[in-house]
Structure 1
């Protein structure tokens, strides 16, 4: 006999950005009450849930925030994990677990975890500062990553020659072999406290050439069955090795020889899963809620091929956001626009995304370019 569901568990979200906003929108269907903490009093979640204005890394602020929450989760990794450990010791369910968040806060620890767990990843060397980078670089090009605080492409530098060494980070980080990859893909996987695991079909990502963030993606990825199975196997292995509860995005390189290597992971809803709202049976946001609330995981099947285009602030524009070409894009069949409730735009700020569904791959790619060239965020 199944237990009775009662939607009285208050879910606290550390971070009030667009990921939290879409998580709340999904949770409305389950009558889930939400409470949100964010340092921006105008954050996207501020008007749609119980909202607390405060710093995510302040110990006392996070402790006070979590007092009346039953379950606590995150939409950004830059949070105070000591406070979360204390809340966990007080009986709060904190998912992902604080230990997982701590590991993922530091790319150095991430890479060491992959190595110790037998998870394929690009060869790397740890570095302590700029001088250490200069001593340890033996070949170019090479990737220099900041250990902590990197986000949305920040904290990554490609050093193409000795002249680029001045761009290296003067802080703890790592040097990583620049992979000559064929594709960049992502698999989103979820796990419950009882150990149930389900993953979404892999998507293929295209990154902005300068900003190192996803510009658009296609679902499903156009990859071989071998690569698809290996990517799914790796994603399941990672979340099992972490013993993590919640949703995990696993970004991977596919090399020209068909090898699959983990690049980075994120323990939360992710940019590479936005299209699941319209194009999968269960969205990544609903799946995350199912996982952290102890509910059965949903069907991850694709209902129709799709693409997702990130809507970024235009270069040279900063101020009150206006959306050029909005009506033109809405007139296209299979298109759904998500705006994130951000009043102010600035260059390359994530202001929304567009999901495009079409069974014809050629037509899907045509619509992606049409959306990219038509819908602009200006001031």
Structure 2
């Protein structure tokens, strides 16, 4: 980097949600000046950064104006104006992950084509231009339909079980893919810096909330065989190198019942599948992302202990000013770390925080995590 730390570097983050908040908490250790752009005037980052601007992430002029004069820009959400980032890159602002990587990952169809072109294992798929084209597909029912753009946190995904579901299918450009008969959903987070160093975090196992389709329960490290874990990490490293990304890349995968690993989706930023690294690993995913974009040596990703992460979601049927029930009770338990995201309002299944439970006894960590799930609630 042209500038050293010590308060000189001006870092911009597009997005002021919980990922940006936790990134700022780590960036304070590097003494950089953090600027944040977010459309929500009550965004979780608003009081933690050096400069907060309320504005659209998808508007060209807003993003360009925000980035002008900064040394570096990173993201905590992919839905940003890539044309503005390209222009800023041309003018010498460092953008990590690079605008070309963000553009590719914004489009699930382009993602899938990239997997195919680079021999990355993934489920069979087909690009669909509109709902009418669904009626002409050769795919057998049932299958999954995903919007090519703007889907996140389980939104933009539909199961098409039979011809009866076609009327309710998405109209917009989408992909359809075979439903994978998986044993477990897994993830690997990989980091790459500008000098080409690549490092993975240990593979994690995930369970999803069936209603919200969000990660609800994550266990680290995995107890699957060394061969399976190594294969998953090798796939993540190949993706990072094929993309030539600078920063973090979260790779969500399926482990099938026949032992095959298939890549599902990518996220070029800190990710829900890495929150447990704050307490559970020698380097957190947020620290690693900063090391990668600052082109510093990558940190030790080994697990310190067993860690279970649970998402703290807004309870169903509650909407309004957030009220947290059971915080004191769970904090009285050993090895429980509560992270509240500073969101003023709750609504059903909104991510309001997460809790990490650590223990040298893996089963005890899981038992305690289940207790926390029962006790800690976000209502209104």
TM category, shorter: over 0.9
How far apart, CA to CA, are the structure 1 residues paired with 2:341 and 2:168? Answer: 33
Residue in 2 that maps onto 1:31: 31
Q: Deviations over 1:167-217 (max 9, x none)?
A: 311110111010000111100000001100101001101011121110110
Q: TM-score, normalised by structure 1?
A: 0.98
- For the aligned residues, what is the CA RMSD? 1.1
Residue in 1 that maps onto 2:301: 300
Asked whether the equivalents of residues 125 and 176 of structure 2 are also in contact (C-alpha less than 8 Å), the reply is: yes
Residue in 2 that maps onto 1:233: 234
Residue in 2 that maps onto 1:369: 370
Q: Deviations over 1:24-75 (max 9, x none)?
A: 0011111121000000010000111110010001111111101121110000
How far apart, CA to CA, are the structure 1 residues paired with 2:222 and 2:363? Answer: 14
Residue in 2 that maps onto 1:277: 278
Can you give the 5+ residue segments of structure 1 that lack an aligned partner in the other structure?
Answer: none
Residue in 1 that maps onto 2:188: 187
Can you give the 5+ residue segments of structure 2 that lack an aligned partner in the other structure?
Answer: none
How far apart, CA to CA, are the structure 2 residues paired with 1:310 and 1:167? Answer: 30
Is 1:61 aligned to residue 62 of structure 2?
yes
SS in 2 for 1:135: coil
SS in 1 for 2:126: strand
How far apart, CA to CA, are the structure 2 residues paired with 1:281 and 1:97? Answer: 27
How far apart, CA to CA, are the structure 2 residues paired with 1:183 and 1:316? Answer: 30
Residue in 2 that maps onto 1:22: 22
Is 1:197 aligned to residue 198 of structure 2?
yes
Question: When the two structures are aligned, how many residues end up with a matched partner?
Answer: 377
Residue in 1 that maps onto 2:177: 176
Deviation at 1:361, TM superposition (A): 2.2
The equivalences for 1:1-379 within 5 A come to 6-49=6-49, 50-136=51-137, 138-379=139-380
How far apart, CA to CA, are the structure 2 residues paired with 1:299 and 1:75? Answer: 23
Larger displacement relative to structure 2 (357-366 or 225-234): 357-366
Deviation at 1:7, TM superposition (A): 4.3
How far apart, CA to CA, are the structure 1 residues paired with 2:21 and 2:132? Answer: 42
Q: TM-score, normalised by structure 2?
A: 0.97
How far apart, CA to CA, are the structure 1 residues paired with 2:30 and 2:278? Answer: 15
